[in-house]
Amino acid sequence: MRRLARLSFIFFTAWRYGMLPLLRDILKPGIRRGVLTIICWTSPGQSLPRGERIRLTLEALGPIFVKFGQVLSTRRDLLPEDIANELAKLQDQVPPFSNDESCRLIEQALGQSIEEVFISFDATPVASASVAQVHFGLLRGTQKHPEWEGRPVAVKVLRPGILPIIDGDLALLYDLAKIIERLSEDGRRLKPRENVAEFDTHLHDELDLMREAANASQLRRYFVDSKKLMIPEMYWDLCHTNVIVMEKMDGISIGRTAELQAAGIDFKKLAADGVEIFFTQVFQHGFFHADMHPGNIMISLEPETFGRFISLDFGIVGALSQSDKSYLALNFLAFFNRDYRRVAELHIESGWVPANTRVEELEGAVRSVCEPYFDRPLKEISLGIVLMRLFQTSRRFKVEIQPQLTLLQKTLLNVEGLARQLDPDLDLWKTAKPILEKWVSQQLGWRALVDGIKAEAPSWAQILPTLPRLIAESLAQGRAPQKDQNLELEVLKGLLLQERRTHRLLVGALLFAGGFLAGILIIGLGLY
C-alpha cells in the first residue's frame, strides 16, 4: 500500500511539472500514448524547457531522486546536452535531523558517552546532506592515544532510518526503468535499468562510512608528502559503519573567490596545482576523488600550509585499471598530436568498438570532433569536452562506454571548470602533458622493462626449477581420463606460456645489459 501511494505521488509530481509530455514522446504508438496525451493537456508545467522540468520533478520527489539525477548527469554519452546540463545544477540540501538523535547515534556507535570521548562537542551540525551530517568537537586523550588530547575533529553521522527509504525509492526507480525500457522506442539505448543499478551501487557504498574512511586513508597515503594537497586523517578506533571521526580541516571553500583573493592566494598557481593533483591521481595512482565540487574542496590559510588544497567527502571515488589509464593517456597524446588514426585505432584496440569497425570511417568521425578545437589556442581546449565528444561519437559505432570513464569525464569537467574560474588563461595541456608523458614513459619505456623483470622475478624462482618435473608428470599421465587430461593440458599450456614470457624477458634483459656493457667498453677503449 505504501509503495502504491509513493507511486501515485510520483505520477502527480510528474504531471505537475510537465514531465508527462516527455514520457508520452518516448512511448511507442498505442493506447497508452493516446491516454497520456489526453492527460498532458491539463499539465501546468509543460511550457518549461524539458531539462528544467526533469530537474524540478527530481527536486520535488526528494533527496534520493535528487542524488539519482546527480549521478545521471554524468552520463553525457547517453543524455542530450540540455538535459545533462540542467541535471548538473541539482543541489542536495536536506534539513538536519535532531541534535539529540545525532548524539544518541554517536554514543551508540562509540560505546561511550559524548563527555567521555570529547572535551567539547557541538551538537548543531555544520553541514547536512541526504545521507549524513557533520559535527565538530575536541577529542579527549586515552590511555592508548594520549596524543589525542585537545585535537579538533569532525564527526560524520549517517542519517537514521535512511536505508529503508533508499531501498523503497530504489525499488520504484527499478520499476520505472523497466516501464521505460519496455514501452519506450529508445529504451534500450538509454539503458535505464543499468543506470539505476549503477546508482544503486554508488548509493549503498555511501551508506557505509567505513568505506569512505578507507577511500580517504588511501588517498592520504598517496599524498602524505605532498606540498599541494591535504587529506584528513582518520581516527580508526572511533570509526564505524554509521559514524566516522576524522581530523578537522580548516580552510575556505574554493568557491569563495573574493575571500581567497583578499587572503593573498595566487590563483594562477592554485589552478595549475589543482589540475596537476587531478591528473596525478588519475594516471599515477589510478584512484581519484570523483566528487570535486566547491563544497568538498577548501584552501588552507594556515601559515605552514598556505595555499594548499584540502579535499573532503570521499564517498564517491573512481578507480582505473592499467588498461583504462593506458587508453586515456595514449588518446590524449594522440589527440594533441592530431593523430586521428591513432585515436581510432585505440578505440578499436580497447575492445569497446566492434572489431569489424573500419578504421578509416572511425578516423573520419574522430577528425570531425577534434579538428575544430585546433583553430583556437591550446589553453582554450577543454579535455573534458573532447572526451565527452569522443564518447558521443563512439556511441554511433556501438561502443559500450565503461562507467568509470564517464565518472572520470564528469570529474574532469568539474576540475576544468574550477581551474578556469581561478585562471581563465590556464593552459591545461601545458600542465597535463608532462604528467601524461611521464606515465607513458614509465609504462612503455625501459623503466617498464626493468619493473616487469623485478615483478616477475619471484615467480621465476618458483616456476623454472619445477618446470621439467611438471612436464614429465603431465606426459606420464597420458592414459588418465579425458577430463583430467584436458585440465592438465590447460595447466601445462599456462606453464609453457609463462616460461616463454620469462624467456623473452630474460633475453630482453640480457640484451639490454649486454648492449649497455658493450657501449661502456667501446667508450672506454676509445678514451684509452
**Closest alpha carbon to 59 in 98, 24, 19, 4:** 19
| DSSP label of 285 | I
pTM of the full structure: 0.70
Rounded to an integer, the average pLDDT of 97-107 is: 93
Residue 291 annotated among the catalytic residues of the structure: yes
Checking DSSP bridges between strand 309-311 and strand 229-230, what pairing results, if any?
parallel
DSSP-derived 3-state class of residue 57: helix
pLDDT at residue 466 above 80? Answer: no
User: What's the pLDDT band for 496 if we cut at 50, 70, 90?
Assistant: low
Average pLDDT over every residue of 202-223:
90
Indicate the pairing of strand 132-139 with strand 118-121. Answer: antiparallel
Residue 451's pLDDT is 60
pLDDT bucket at 9, cuts 50 / 70 / 90? confident
Nearest to 157 by CA among 204, 217, 110, 220: 110
Distances from the Cα of 505 to the Cα of 290, 448, 457, 462, 468, angstroms: 37, 11, 10, 16, 20
Condensed to tens digits (0 to 9), the pLDDT of residues 236-259 reads: 999 999 999 999 999 998 888 899
* Each residue's pLDDT tens digit, 397-427: 766 656 667 677 778 777 877 787 788 877 7
Counted residue by residue, the chain has a size of: 528
Stated as kind and residue range, the H or E segment containing 414 is helix 403-422
Annotated catalytic residue: which of 169, 273, 291, 423? 291
| More confident of the two residues 223 and 10 | 223
Tell me the C-alpha distance between 18 and 49, whole Å: 9
Beta strand ranges found along 102-257 (DSSP E): 118-121, 127-128, 132-139, 152-158, 229-230, 243-247, 252-253
- What is the average pLDDT value for the chain, to the nearest integer? 76
Give the pLDDT confidence score for residue 510 in this predicted structure.
42
Phi, psi of 287 (to 5 degrees): -150, 110
pLDDT value at position 247?
96
**Domain locations in the chain as residue ranges:** 1-91, 94-248, 250-444, 455-527
Q: Look at residue 233 in the predicted model and tell me its pLDDT.
A: 95
Q: With contact defined as beta carbons under 8 Å apart, do 431 and 275 qualify?
A: yes
